[in-house]
Amino acid sequence: MAKVKVGPGPYLYPMPVVLVGAQVKGRPNYLTVAFAGIVNLQPAIIALGLGRKHYTNLGIKKNKTFSVNIPSPKLVKATDFCGIYSGHRVDKSGVFKSFYGKLKTAPMIEECAVNLECRLVRIIPLEADELVLGEIMEVYVDKKCLTRGAPDVRKIKPMVFTVPDNRYWALGKAVGPAWKIGKTFSGKHK
């Protein structure tokens, strides 16, 4: 197969699109984040790669809490807005309707179907960014996005993000059941 080297870069396909929230100087502030992923199952820990100068980081460090919110394509303009403009210059507290949960200081977005309420576990400095680790203390899901009591991704409609085209996408089709379809694999193995 002919492979072409395109150089090192964040070519992980796809990346999630989330809005990370923190309370900064008494107001909610949200930024758009693609560098996010679950890194521990029990307890559930989420990792975020955040530029260290972001306004949101101030609130995460002060309150030791933050939120991760999952926007749908309906929110694409507001989501991109939060990724363009910094709270250092623009008051983003009114972009979404905020609510608070049991941690009290992690603002969450009413308009997002899923909200993860997190407690800061650790910040690990990286070359340019900070690796922010948070334990997911509670998860809030819109009632209308449940099917038989469980979150339903078809109703949640998360977006994904790709580089180098810098584009938001909706999800495609399901292709098979995990931990099941592999049992029908008939290729080479011992």
Applying CB under 6 A, the residues found at the interface with ligand FMN are 29, 31-35, 49-51, 54-56, 80, 83-88, 161
Close Cβ partners of 114 (under 8 Å, ≥ 6 residues apart):
69, 70, 139, 140, 141, 142, 145, 151, 156, 158
State the nearest-atom distance from the C-beta of 29 to ligand FMN, in Å.
5
Cβ distance to ligand FMN smaller for residue 25 or 97:
25
24 vs 156, beta carbon nearer ligand FMN: 24
Cβ at position 100, least distance to ligand FMN in Å = 19
**Assigned token pair, 189:** 């193995």
Give the closest residue to 109 by CA, choosing from 126, 84, 92: 92
For residue 163, the minimal CB distance to ligand FMN (Å) is 9
What's 142's DSSP letter? Answer: -
Residue 170, helix vs strand vs coil: strand
d(CA 67, CA 120): 10
Could you tell me which of 78, 77, 58, 76 has the C-alpha nearest to residue 66?
58
- Least spacing, CB of residue 119 vs ligand FMN, in Å: 19
* Residues β-bridged to residue 38: 46
Of the pair 114, 132, the CB lying nearest ligand FMN is at 132
Q: Which residues pair with 22 in a beta bridge?
A: 29
Least Cβ distance, residue 138 to ligand FMN (angstroms): 23
Q: Which two tokens stand for residue 47?
A: 């990792």
| Residue type at position 43 | P
Closest approach of ligand FMN to the CB of residue 131, in Å: 11
Chain centroid to CA 178: 22
Closer Cβ to ligand FMN, 87 or 107, answer by number: 87
Q: Nearer Cβ to ligand FMN, position 85 or 140?
A: 85
CB nearer ligand FMN, residue 49 or residue 152: 49
